Structure 1
Amino acid sequence: MSSEVVNFKEKLSLFSEHWSPKVIAQMNDYQLKLVKIQGEFTWHDHPDTDEVFIVISGNMEIEFRDSAISLGPGEMTVVPKGVEHKPKAEQECEVLLIEPKGVVNTGDACGELTAENDIWI
């Protein structure tokens, strides 16, 4: 088995679209995905899995039905499975997501922000 170094800055330079997660590594059944976000996402949940958000650069907010949290560079949160949430960022924010392979970014909500799954960079 060989290991390779993954450079976040280098990988983030390979795409510019927002709300379109790109896979950079896989660990067992979990994928690590980089995503650039700006504006508001759609309300959604993931009924079968938790979702990890780690902010690399910028600032974001995650709204919940009864509260909201703000995240900045070097901060993270775990959104528990089944919890409805809506990520947003006023300015572009770069985020590392950790979630099981096959998770659709909009959950069951679907729509124009649903990204193609399993796209590696």
Structure 2
Amino acid sequence: MSNQPINLDTALASFDALWSPRIVTRVNDYDVRIAKVAGDFVWHSHEDTDEFFLVLDGELDIALRQGRTAERTVHLSRGDVFVVPRGTEHRPSSAAGASILMFEPTGTVNTGDRHDEVPGHIASSTGQALSG
């Protein structure tokens, strides 16, 4: 990781891939990841960790399921923060596209428990190093 300041606008301008998180830096045992998103992600959960979202630009909806029937959607605008509690099934989406920042334990797969059911437009990964 760099020991120099990282400008998030510059970092976001360095890639175009959607739903493909880039690791900006690390804090203790956590990755600070950024991603460009558009359309729907996959329903998934993280059994062992909460997931922190900060919308840097655009709008993000996070659909949440409690069990298989009770569903609600949280709408986030630029500057909004939301934490999905561990074990909660959720599906981020953005109709017009957004840029987001996430905190996750290093090594956490972005698609959580849905390793075999990932559509082609989504990169299932633990994050990629930020180029440049």
Letter in 1 for 2:12: L
Instruction: State the 1:3 CA deviation.
Output: 4.1
- 2:85 is aligned with 1:100: no
Instruction: State the 1:42 CA deviation.
Output: 0.6
Moved more, 82-91 or 102-111: 102-111
Letter in 1 for 2:126: N
Instruction: State the 1:37 CA deviation.
Output: 0.5
For 1:28-43, what aligned pairs fall within 5 Å after superposition? 28-43=28-43
| TM-score computed with the length of structure 1 as normaliser | 0.94
- 2:129 is aligned with 1:120: yes
Instruction: State the 1:116 CA deviation.
Output: 3.1
Distance across 2 between alignment mates of 1:118 and 1:94 = 15
Contact 1:44/1:84, CA 8 A, preserved across alignment? yes
Which position in structure 1 is the counterpart of 2:54? 54
RMSD after superposition: 1.3
Which position in structure 1 is the counterpart of 2:14? 14
- Paired positions, count: 120
Stretches of 4+ aligned residues off by more than 4 angstroms? none
Contact 2:33/2:127, CA 8 A, preserved across alignment? no
Call closer, same or farther: CA 1:59–1:90 in 2, change over 3 Å. Answer: same
Distance across 2 between alignment mates of 1:19 and 1:28 = 24
Letter in 2 for 1:84: E
| TM-score computed with the length of structure 2 as normaliser | 0.86
Partner secondary structure for residue 16 of structure 2: coil
Instruction: State the 1:92 CA deviation.
Output: 1.4
Q: Which runs of 5+ in 1 are unaligned?
A: none
Which position in structure 1 is the counterpart of 2:77? 72
